[in-house]
Structure 1
Amino acid sequence: MSRSAPSPIYTLRGAGGPLNCLHFSCHGGDTPLLFSGSGKGAIHMWNLNTRRAEKIVEGHCGSSVVWVGTLQGSETLVSQGRDMQVCLWDLSEGRSEVMDSVCTGSVGFCQCSVLETSPGTRLLAFAGQQTEEIKIIELPSKTAVCTLVPDAKLGMVMCITLWQPDSGPGPLLLAGYEDGSLLLWDVTQRAKLSQAKAHPEPVMCLTFDTKCLRGISGSSDNKICSWMTDRQNNLQLQDCVTLLNPGVSQLCIRGDGKLLASAGWDHRVRIFGWKKLRPLAVLQYHTDLVLSVAFSDHQDPRQRLLAAGSKDQRISLWSIYNEAADTG
């Protein structure tokens, strides 16, 4: 490692359950926020100035919250629970009310994905009731757009992400499956564009850098594998990094495209340079599985944070590599 590993600058406690998901909202207003979803169904809105929960809401009948996010340019929170519901919350003027919900039919852990297609209109993709299907609807109308089902038996849909290419027609969707396969779908044509076998075990998580058309996935094995899409939308496997211990819950690329963070089943957070996947640091604090990682969206790079959520019911906050250094 190039430097000694740092310690958390502070921790957040009191979530009351495993921290399945994290989401920062620090670019608007005076109050930087961190949203967390717990295995006990609670969504905490942490004020990063006071380092306390500003609000706690329960919207999934005690079922595990597997994903939280905010809609760009609005004061709307989106949460997904294992109660088969995706909830949209109105956070304007101090409110925290569920203003709409979508039934997914799926009780799995596959996180949904939201993509803004035009001002006020978004696509929502989620794992459907059938094992291998992905459903996509339009919001706020809830109009069905398509259902994507692979020809071959690939097992359960494990993770998905929607994105809009700079050139070409409509949105594309990347999906990871139980058999270790990655599929790239054309949403407009409802067609599979390409497929690659990235892991021998289920794809537990993936993330995609739309700027360089490169992604990375993790599994229950001890490897994280990078891959890219070419101009013909073919998935091409690139490098694999072997980890000391198996199991990756989540992967996150920092907004500037310089760092990659992994949440490990071995209680550790690992930091890599995104360009060359060079190991930079191993962050050790948690006493159980690390389930989630997220980089903050502060406009000032010096304020950027990394958050890690664990099964030990704690969130650790880290300030790392915020100077203009070559991280590889």
Structure 2
Amino acid sequence: MAARPPAQPVAILRGHRAQVHAAVFMRLDQTESSGATMTTDTRLATGDSDGYVVLWDLAIVRPRAVWRAHTSSILGLAAWDDDQQLVTHGRDHRLVVWQVGVADEARMSTTLPLDDELSGSVSTKISESTALRPQPWMVQVLEVNTMNFCAFAWTNLAGRAAAATTVTKGSREISTCTTATDLALNGTMPRERLVAVPNTLTLEAIDLYHLPSQQRINTIRAGTKEGMIMAVALFYTSLPTAPEPLVLIAGFENGVVVLATLCQGADGPATILYRAQPHSQPVLSLDVAPDRSYFLTSAADAVLAKHPIRVTVATQEQQRTSALAPSTSKTLQMSSASNAAQSTRKPVSLLSAALAKEAATSASTPLSREFKPTPAEKPVEVETQPLATVNTKHAGQQGLRIRDDGRVFATAGWDARVRVYSAQTMKEVAVLKWHQTGCFAVAFAPIVKTVTSPDAEHGDKDLATSSGAGVVSKVSSNREASVKERRLRHAVTAHWLAAGSKDGKISLWDIF
């Protein structure tokens, strides 16, 4: 049999003049019924080491908005699609939330950073190009630590953290964390979120910030002598408990991976449930499975590791019992003391008082022993073994991402290869080779589930919602679609994989 030809990218996005460090698909349909799906307004956001962000239109493979978000390298990007916002984390110690809706693109520049390099000297043009490119509306600016090259992690706030409820207690606090856009559109407070970044002073500690109040509500020490934190993840479990356990995952410089839970709220104490060292080199990236049952890590060595996520209700109940037991014993001791005080008020003889005191002492001793918590309470058992480890023999794989269907995951390699693995078996299923220099970032687009109508009389079914960019409709086999319809349909239904490289180019692949 003839060997299959090597896979080729569908498109190459050229525009960055510096190495691409982060990529994310944004403006996805986040309805509860269909989950995350792509629409004709979906954009691919990429960030480079010069601080530039480019929003690419996948239908026309052209930029829709270009601006300089940071004065230094961009570490991470995140899309808050519910609010049409993009979050950028830069090496200039700032985390910025930008308002980048479809209407905001009309006033944005589409001049790529590479065009400035072609038109003249980069050093003389960089200030002029920054002034010519208007920035989107800046919703939030959070000063954070970026000394250890670790990108931030975030999650929507479940319930109400005690330290975060102060944002609604006074008009002063509300005015400092509410933008004019939010008040004009909703008239309410913006959505609450938690952001995790490494601590500034302690290498092994992680700070939890609350947005929009911009208050640090917790500092969690996840290790002792593991070195710098290189990667973090933050999410809530799906356990039917109140409050939901908050899970924090950290990968360290010495290859250690730690999982901790906060069962008493985001501002409560943390309990380490898992600690393993599958890597001999610094952890470069990690990602959590869509069903929250495991997470994967990659490092500067050639090892890929799969780790368990086992957060049970028993752990939460044990922490709650240990927290309430001391207060219960104090209450019992106070009640016995008050009863003894009331009994001394009665006029009794010296002999009766001595006999009553001795009886009360002998009676209170077994009672206090019965309700007093045992000092040697069973500690939480810490797991130390990963589910699986694979030596890929290819060192330096980062940017690990798991697709939303949980079937495959991909890594960006320093050897200029993008490798795709099976999430179940962790075996290599594809090697994507186009770039000539190392790759740093990988992003998956969500998988659109196409549903065909059994009734022919209903006609064609829409694959995506109508928007400013047009309507994508499924075309029946007995008639031809226009070129525009085919292009839009392919942009929505393709299984996109984007890879950013050191050469400043982004390759778009349609795989599996």
Alpha-carbon distance in structure 1 between the residues aligned to 2:295 and 2:13: 30
Amino acid at match of 2:412: A
Q: CA deviation at 1:198?
A: 2.1
Alpha-carbon distance in structure 2 between the residues aligned to 1:242 and 1:143: 42
Q: Cα gap change, 1:173/1:72 in structure 2, threshold over 3 Å: closer, same or farther?
A: farther
Aligned to 2:486: none
Picking from 28, 46, 50, the partner of 1:40 is 50
Amino acid at match of 1:320: I
Paired residues for 1:63-212 under 5 Å: 63-92=72-101, 93-94=103-104, 96-118=136-158, 120-130=191-201, 131-167=203-239, 168=241, 169-187=244-262, 188=265, 189-193=268-272, 194-212=274-292
Partners of 1:25 and 1:297 within 8 A in 2: no
Structure with the largest fraction of strand: 1
Alpha-carbon distance in structure 2 between the residues aligned to 1:214 and 1:64: 31
Greater CA drift, 82-91 or 110-119: 110-119
Amino acid at match of 1:27: L
Q: SS of 1:94's equivalent?
A: helix
Alpha-carbon distance in structure 2 between the residues aligned to 1:9 and 1:127: 37
- Residue 413 of structure 2 is aligned to residue 264 of structure 1: yes
Partners of 1:17 and 1:40 within 8 A in 2: yes
Q: SS of 1:166's equivalent?
A: coil
Aligned to 2:119: none
Q: Cα gap change, 1:124/1:3 in structure 2, threshold over 3 Å: closer, same or farther?
A: farther
Picking from 311, 315, 318, the partner of 2:509 is 318
Amino acid at match of 1:117: L
Picking from 422, 427, 430, the partner of 1:281 is 430
Q: How high is the sequence identity, in percent, across the aligned residues?
A: 27
- Output the aligned Cα RMSD: 2.0
* Higher-Rg member (1/2): 2
Q: Cα gap change, 1:117/1:299 in structure 2, threshold over 3 Å: closer, same or farther?
A: farther
Q: CA deviation at 1:151?
A: 4.8
Aligned to 2:7: 6
Alpha-carbon distance in structure 1 between the residues aligned to 2:290 and 2:157: 15
Partners of 1:183 and 1:192 within 8 A in 2: no
Q: If the length of structure 2 is used for normalisation, what is the TM-score? A: 0.60
**1:17-75 CA-partner distances (Å, limit 9, x unpaired):** 111000002534532200001011101111111111111111212x0011111114111
Q: CA deviation at 1:231?
A: 4.3
Aligned to 2:318: none
Aligned to 1:244: 393
Q: CA deviation at 1:136?
A: 0.5
Alpha-carbon distance in structure 1 between the residues aligned to 2:4 and 2:219: 47
**1:216-250 CA-partner distances (Å, limit 9, x unpaired):** 11111111111112245855402222223211121
Count of aligned pairs between the two proteins: 319
Picking from 214, 219, 230, the partner of 2:294 is 214
Q: Cα gap change, 1:192/1:210 in structure 2, threshold over 3 Å: closer, same or farther?
A: farther
**1:162-205 CA-partner distances (Å, limit 9, x unpaired):** 01101153311100011111111223333232311121111111
Partners of 1:172 and 1:185 within 8 A in 2: yes
Alpha-carbon distance in structure 2 between the residues aligned to 1:212 and 1:190: 22
- Residue 496 of structure 2 is aligned to residue 305 of structure 1: yes
**1:91-111 CA-partner distances (Å, limit 9, x unpaired):** 233161222210113333101
Alpha-carbon distance in structure 1 between the residues aligned to 2:259 and 2:400: 19
Alpha-carbon distance in structure 1 between the residues aligned to 2:437 and 2:269: 41
Partners of 2:290 and 2:406 within 8 A in 1: no
Amino acid at match of 2:144: T
Q: Cα gap change, 1:26/1:99 in structure 2, threshold over 3 Å: closer, same or farther?
A: closer
Amino acid at match of 2:238: D
Consecutive unaligned residues of structure 1, counting only runs of 5 or more, are: 322-328
Partners of 2:26 and 2:81 within 8 A in 1: no
Q: CA deviation at 1:293?
A: 0.5
Alpha-carbon distance in structure 2 between the residues aligned to 1:89 and 1:146: 25
Aligned to 1:325: none
Q: SS of 2:448's equivalent?
A: coil
Q: SS of 2:82's equivalent?
A: coil
Q: If the length of structure 1 is used for normalisation, what is the TM-score? A: 0.91
Partners of 1:163 and 1:210 within 8 A in 2: no
Q: Cα gap change, 1:10/1:105 in structure 2, threshold over 3 Å: closer, same or farther?
A: same
Partners of 1:39 and 1:65 within 8 A in 2: yes
- Residue 94 of structure 2 is aligned to residue 22 of structure 1: no
Alpha-carbon distance in structure 1 between the residues aligned to 2:398 and 2:192: 30
Partners of 2:27 and 2:84 within 8 A in 1: no
Aligned to 2:379: none
